[in-house]
Structure 1
Amino acid sequence: MLYYKQLKVLFLLIILKSCFFAICVAKIGFSTKTPYEFIHPPQKNVIEDDWYNAHTDQYTCGAVHVSAVIRHGARNPGESDSKRIANIHMRIKDNIKDGDKFKLLKDWTNQFPVNNNKNLNDAGENEQHHLGQRTARRLKSLFLEEDMSAVQFMVSSAKRTEDSALAFYEGINEEIPSEAPEEFDSEVNDENLRFHTMCQKYINSVENNSTALKEYKVFGSSDLINQVLEKVIAKLGVEKNVLEPADLKTMFVICGSEMAVFKFSPWCDLFDDEDNEIMQYWSDLKKYYKNGPAYRITWEQSCPLVAELFTIMDDVIAVIERTEEDKDTEGYLLGNMMFGHAETLGPLYAALGLFNDTVPLTSKNYHEQKNRLFRTSEILPFSANIMFVLYECEENEELLNDEEEEDDNPDDDYRIQLFVNEQPMLIPGCKNLLCPYTDVREWYSDISDDCHFEYLCDPHKKMHNEL
């Protein structure tokens, strides 16, 4: 364990070698095993209320609610990956010719517990804790005079999501301490956050359908993957029959998992920048066809989650409007924090029209997709998150022209802004980052209002699987 910590300096030198004045030639990442700090470096100076206040030329707004869907933090590799990497390591160790050159790899031992159920690790806990802190700081005035009972936490049945939610909660409380903090409580809801395990049509048509991932499988036997394999074999100096393409996937997974926790992995040394890009694309193909926009049922099954997001924001607005007439009206949810998986966020992105490339990813267009939107290392790393901030707005009367009149339509009093991995993002169909809530509500009404999950997921109904 100690030698990993000592090699953090080496890790920094590797990064500096690839980057000059923060301009990197290659986008180094590890697909869905990418540490969150790779795409969002820790911020020491987060501006207080940075997200609380918003304005346009016509409106001044204050946040009244935030809804978030957050992937769990960095986790340990699963038992199957741990067993596979142990087997790969044994084969390499027994056949490697230059043991001194790859001493770190030869002496490598698995630092992750084998029977861990893919649990959250220390790095993942830190990711979530700091994300909670930053969110609370950016929306400090929203939470400052309220207790945490006004914030709802929803998780899946996987323990790593509950542990992530708890770490996030503790981060909020550290930023905004309370004299009598509420005991952490969460609701388990797999229909909203683990729908891919409950939708039988999806399971039959995509997850268990060998042809659904055809492009991913074809790429796995392509010249590009064989090129990576040959380079790795040449670096190690082992016989060609020692490793096969499937081994590269496991090595890449362990590389990313160790980078998240230890900031260094000897497995990463086997992949140069070009190899990393090819391995990322191979992983992206799998997620694109399994959990992305490729098949209609994949993103349609997220409709309970989309409905939950908008129903809660509808309720917030309704309570605010009633409160103006009845001061005794009970409060509303300030925060709706939901913790799921890459399999939660991928379909949600597609349902919202985010990161949908004009040209589909295929096994044949790797070179044409270098600047693709669907890059999982950037949109689905550990602790990936999407947040909707709802604002109540007032018109700036002094900015109105003489010919203009103040708008009394209550539908125009609310605006919404989207953040993905803490970066503002234009909602499809909006002209500005701060968009009228009624417009956004209408654009997504088909999937949010007409969600009949049991009917949708009936395997006997016809599936639309065109790209």
Structure 2
Amino acid sequence: MLMRTVLVAVLCVCVGVSTKDRSCYWRAECQETLFATRTPYDTVRGDIRDWPLLAGCEAISMWALVRHGNRNPGDKETINMRELQARIKDDIIEHFDYEMGSSQLCAQDIENFRKWNWNTTMDTSPSYLTGIGYQEIYALGSRIRQKYPQLLESQLGVYVRPTYKQRTVTSAMAFLQAFNEGNELNLTADEFRQQDDVLRPYDNCPLYKDEVKNGQLLNDQLEAFFKTTEYLHVQKSATDRLGLSQTLSVEEIFTLYELCRFHRTWSPQHKSPWCAAFSSSDLLVLEYRDDVRHYYKNAYGSPINAKLGYPVLKNLYESLELAKQGQGKSIVTYFAHDTLLGMVYSALGLYKDGETITAQYRNPNRNWRTSHLAPFSANIMAYLNRCNDGSYKVQIFNNEKPTLLCPLEGCTWDQFASIFQPFTEANLDFCKLKGMPKVPGSAADFRSLTGLLFLTLSIMIL
């Protein structure tokens, strides 16, 4: 049985300074930093440099799967956010009167709304990596380089490949810059693939699209979440806090949350005025929506998801096996998306709760919490160590923290193989729908690498 890492979340209880029953977000003693899949990496990560090296052993190869860094909201999110803020910002300001107004905010929160302006860069670069995201990935590469300098000195070489999305291509650039800086390596990433069964297997799986992504179960769970007592309470309290005369719809509440968390995660020091709409407990409820969505769309909500995590784990095993034989690479790193990370977690049995995650019940002590599992720049790293006695040990880290899968003291090669070798039989044959020929994955938004690099260099947001 696979062992799973136990997450211990230390929650900061944010206490705002209240005057005349008004809550002041700007003066809160601390502010919620967990925003599900929009969580800043530095909020939850460990530090690979802090863990002791294996005595009598040396790392000879690293394999990593990394989610892209912090990004802009997507097309639909951007449109919804722009339209909502344009409609309610002035109302929020106008409904504030310290003595007679209906708003529950304090004067400084309102002043922050007055100063806040829509960032038009989001209109021209939806889903693009931000400057903060670039720094996240660059810093990750720098820490790996400091901890394991011998991997860059090895003759085995480095292999890096992103998906075709701008945010992963640019993340790969940031990662390699950390390796190239100050030396003459001049490492480059492999070209992305229009159809990638390793990094985007779900694009090439009609069964997944039909039964999971567009299936009724996912939709039913999300609809049920928006009808829960907790969410309806957030809907009312946020509307009241802002002093709006018309109740925000359940969809608008989540768009308001997007305004809060995207602006908030661009820098841990930022205090988005939109977060003033929510209490700390409200944000915990809103965080759960992403947990439910990813549970059913990417993870334990369907056995199909775990099967789609097999191909990349096959690659992990085969990469380290080649390195063990002296034929592989010293570093193999892939840049992908939170969808694949969820599939990998479920394939490995990690962070699985004893009971099914459902929209109707939010367990505050659950293992499945995307803020910790799938923040921006989330990663799984496996290190192959060669020991002086001729044996090999493997360590596996998740977001630069040890896992019980292969802990700090390392798995023996046989232990590692017992977990990962079965994945070498993986393929996507199960994906074909009855009566349907196999079709390639969609690449409607496929862009040329030249265009991606030009836009990356010209748009470094914030």
* TM range, smaller chain: 0.7 to 0.9
Identify the residue that residue 224 of structure 1 maps to in structure 2: 230
CA distance in structure 1 between the partners assigned to 2:395 and 2:68 by the alignment: 23
Helix, strand or coil for the counterpart of 1:65?
strand
Deviation at 1:460, TM superposition (A): 2.5
Distance 1:159 1:181 in 2: 24
The answer to whether the 8 A contact 2:40-2:376 is kept is yes
Alpha-carbon distance between aligned partners in 2 of 1:77 and 1:90, rounded to the nearest angstrom: 17
- Residue aligning to 1:200: 206
Mapping for residues 47-446 of structure 1, pairs under 5 Å: 53-55=53-55, 60-93=56-89, 95-96=91-92, 97-99=94-96, 101=107, 102-111=110-119, 112-143=121-152, 145-146=153-154, 150-174=157-181, 177-178=182-183, 180-189=184-193, 190-241=196-247, 243-262=248-267, 263-319=270-326, 332-366=328-362, 369-395=363-389, 413-427=391-405, 433-446=409-422
Change (3 A) 1:271 1:450: same
Distance 1:127 1:440 in 2: 30
Q: Deviations over 1:248-289 (max 9, x none)?
A: 222222222212224231111111110011011122111111
Specify every segment of 5 or more residues in structure 1 that has no aligned partner in the other structure, as ranges: 1-9, 20-26, 320-330, 396-409, 462-467
Alignment check: 8 A CA contact 2:41 2:376 kept: yes
AA of the residue aligned to 1:226: L
> Counterpart of 1:265 in structure 2: which amino acid?
S
Conservation of the 8 A alpha-carbon contact between 1:153 and 1:185:
yes
* CA deviation string 1:90-139 (max 9, x = no partner): 22135334347424335532224213141101000000010100011111
The alpha carbon displacement at 1:17 in A equals 0.9
Counterparts of 1:22-37 in structure 2, within 5 Å, are 28-37=33-42
Contact map agreement 1:73 1:164 (CA 8 A) in 2: yes
Q: Equivalent residue of 1:426, what SS?
A: coil
The answer to whether the Cα contact below 8 Å between 2:78 and 2:126 also exists between their aligned partners in 1 is no
> Identity, % of aligned pairs?
26
Give the whole-Å Cα distance in 1 for the aligned partners of 2:420 and 2:114.
53
1:113 counterpart SS class: helix
Judge conservation of contact 2:396–2:407 (CA < 8 Å) in 1.
no
- Counterpart secondary structure, 2:132: helix
| SS in structure 2 at match of 1:153 | strand
CA offsets 1:8-36 (integer angstroms, 9 cap, x no match): xx9xx9697138xxxxxxx6411101111
Query: What's the CA shift for 1:40?
Result: 2.8
Task: Indicate yes or no: 2:451 matched with 1:457.
Answer: no
1: CA distance between counterparts of 2:357 and 2:33?
Answer: 19
CA contact (8 A) 1:213 1:289 kept: no
Give the drift of 1:312: 0.9
Q: TM-score, normalised by structure 1?
A: 0.79
Cα distance in 2 between the residues matched to 1:132 and 1:431: 21
Distance 1:194 1:292 in 2: 15
Measure, in 2, the Cα distance between the counterparts of 1:207 and 1:433.
39
TM-score, with length taken from structure 2: 0.80
Give 1:304 deviation, angstroms.
1.5
Q: CA deviation at 1:184?
A: 1.7
| C-alpha RMSD of the superposition | 2.4
Number of residues of Structure 1 aligned to a counterpart in Structure 2: 395
* Structure-1 separation of matches of 2:239 and 2:409: 49
Query: CA 1:392 to 1:15, structure 2 compared with 1: closer, same or farther past 3 Å?
Result: farther
Q: Deviations over 1:322-355 (max 9, x none)?
A: xxxxxxxxx5300001100011111111111111
Distance, in Å, in 2 between the alignment partners of 1:207 and 1:140 is 42
Q: 1:444 Cα shift?
A: 3.0
| Partner SS, residue 191 of structure 1 | coil
Counterpart-to-counterpart distance in 1, 2:188 and 2:407: 39
